[in-house]
Amino acid sequence: MIKTAFYDAKAYDMPSFIKFGNLKGIEFKFLETKLSADTVELARGCDAVCVFVNDTVSKEVIDRLYDIGVKIIALRCAGYNNVDVEQAYGKIHVVHVPAYSPYAVAEHAMALLLTSIRRIHKAYNRTRDFNFSLNGLTGFDLHGKTIGVIGTGKIGRILIDICEGFGMNVIAYDLYPAKDSGITYVPLDELYERSDIISLHCPLTDDTRHMIDEKAISKMKKGVVIVNTSRGALINGEALVDGLMERKVGAACLDVYEEEADIFFEDRSGHILNDDVLSRLISMPNVIVTSHQAFLTEEALENIAETTVNNIISFFENDGRCDNELCYRCGKIEQCKKQRNQKCF
């Protein structure tokens, strides 16, 4: 049996991982705590660790995992900005789930957008109090509006298909445009200037961190709606608050937040929220915040578990090679694996 420490375990995670783990010979040690320098010792005696978006896989943590004999870090998500991949190179192999259900995330982005512009959240709260007034519930049609999609990977392209179904005009920006896709690509500044709605679907890197900041917002249309189901740090939270307060940003739909690590995925209803930016955002009537749930569908959970288990099995059965490895050999991480058919080191 391959022993795997499973950090930040939740009730909705475990059934699928137990199912596929039992089928493939992986014994999961489920831990409620997140991975950090303080909890890394809980992985002692394990061959692998399985982590999620808010686990801290820093230089210190990686070095300690290496010291206690862990061979592989298996991310049960696509993003890896919480992992020091460079530090892991030469020590511990890192794998991820590049796609689980892009439909889940794209559909959630559209659900947030529709809820916001048609004031469904307000109507829901009103009718529960038997208030059936329509005052203040006027929205606008999506048909004919221009949406700017930043990032045209699988999720971005599915959202584009959904938006085209609504009769929207779609423009997009991506550092690596999809060839022969029929997508209308424009420079980023042009996307800011033309879009009625902007939806983010790009990874978090040094180049994309805070790409939506005061300067970017200043270039946008007055009343723009911003949707983020990707990574919280793509948006500078304080700049977004200022944009909303100045009425430059008409609405924000957020499934992620930059400082979510110690807030999201837990019940904080009995506590005072010690985050002024998030508190201000949640208090605004034109802001919708969900708790990083865009991925959370039955189909996605099954796919995440199956792919993660297969990644671990592939690593141990194929002399350290896994198609979903994140490699730092050439510094390109994801691009690198597309050009090779061998393990990273």
Q: CA 278, CA 289: separation in Å to the nearest integer?
A: 9
Spot the catalytic one: 107, 258, 260, 306: 260
Structural domain span for residue 48: 2-100+298-337
Are residues 152 and 89 both part of a single domain?
no
Are residues 77 and 176 both part of a single domain?
no
Residue 28 lies in a domain: yes
Are residues 215 and 204 both part of a single domain?
yes
Residue 282: half-sphere exposure toward Cβ, Cα within 13 Å? 13
Are residues 121 and 169 both part of a single domain?
yes
Residue 75 lies in a domain: yes
Type of residue found at 96: H
User: Residue 18 belongs to a domain with what CATH number?
Assistant: 3.40.50.720
Q: Examine the residue annotation and report whether 260 is marked as an active-site residue of this protein.
A: yes
Would you state the pLDDT for residue 224? 98
Would you state the pLDDT for residue 79? 86
Are residues 132 and 174 both part of a single domain?
yes
Would you state the pLDDT for residue 332? 62
Would you state the pLDDT for residue 334? 64
DSSP 35: P
Residue 345 lies in a domain: no
Residues of the chain with pLDDT under 70: 329-332, 334-342
Spot the catalytic one: 76, 93, 96, 292: 292
Cβ atoms 285, 151 nearer than 8 A = no
Q: Examine the residue annotation and report whether 107 is marked as an active-site residue of this protein.
A: no
Helix/strand/coil for 211:
coil
Are residues 310 and 276 both part of a single domain?
no
Helix residue spans in the chain (DSSP H)? 14-24, 59-67, 85-88, 102-117, 120-128, 154-165, 188-194, 214-218, 237-245, 276-283, 298-317, 334-337
Would you state the pLDDT for residue 341? 61
Are residues 274 and 321 both part of a single domain?
no
Spot the catalytic one: 76, 108, 157, 231: 231
Q: Which residues, other chains included, contact 124 with Cβ-Cβ below 8 Å and sequence gap of 6+?
A: none
Q: Examine the residue annotation and report whether 292 is marked as an active-site residue of this protein.
A: yes
pLDDT tens, 126-181?
Answer: 999 999 999 999 999 999 999 999 999 999 999 999 999 999 999 999 999 998 89
Pairing mode, if any, of strands 26-30 and 2-6? parallel
Would you state the pLDDT for residue 294? 96
CA 11 to chain centre: 20
Read off the pTM.
0.89
